[in-house]
Amino acid sequence: MAELPTDEARRNVLELTDVARTDPRAWPDVRDVGSAEEICEAFGHHCRIQFMPHAGAIEVREIGWAG
């Protein structure tokens, strides 16, 4: 998060994270074949996150910014 260029970028990523947390199964599963970890990917207007769903929470693994 600290590497994002602006407060707006951080706000957009946090908003996407909140949306993904509320319904993590709505996002596509992008795990590698044979992986035991469930890794999903969510897309916003200028950002994307890869995350692992946990009970009532998500663990963000990667953040991408294109703004």
pLDDT tens-place values along the chain, 67 residues long: 899 999 999 999 999 999 999 999 999 999 988 888 999 999 999 999 999 998 889 999 999 999 7
Within-domain flag for 43: yes
Give residue 9's pLDDT.
95
Q: DSSP 3-state helix, strand, coil percentages of the chain (rounded to 5)?
A: 30, 35, 40
Q: Per the domain annotation, does 1 fall within a domain?
A: no
The sheet that has 40-43: what strands, in order across it?
Answer: 40-43, 47-54, 57-65
What was the pLDDT predicted at 56? Answer: 84
Examine residue 24 and state whether it is found in any structural domain, yes or no: yes
Domain count, the chain: 1
Give a yes or no: residue 2 inside a domain.
Answer: no
Q: Does 57 map to a domain?
A: yes
Domain span at residue 22?
Answer: 7-65
pLDDT value of residue 55? 85
Query: Which pLDDT value is given to residue 26?
Result: 93
Which residue's structure tokens are 């994270």?
17
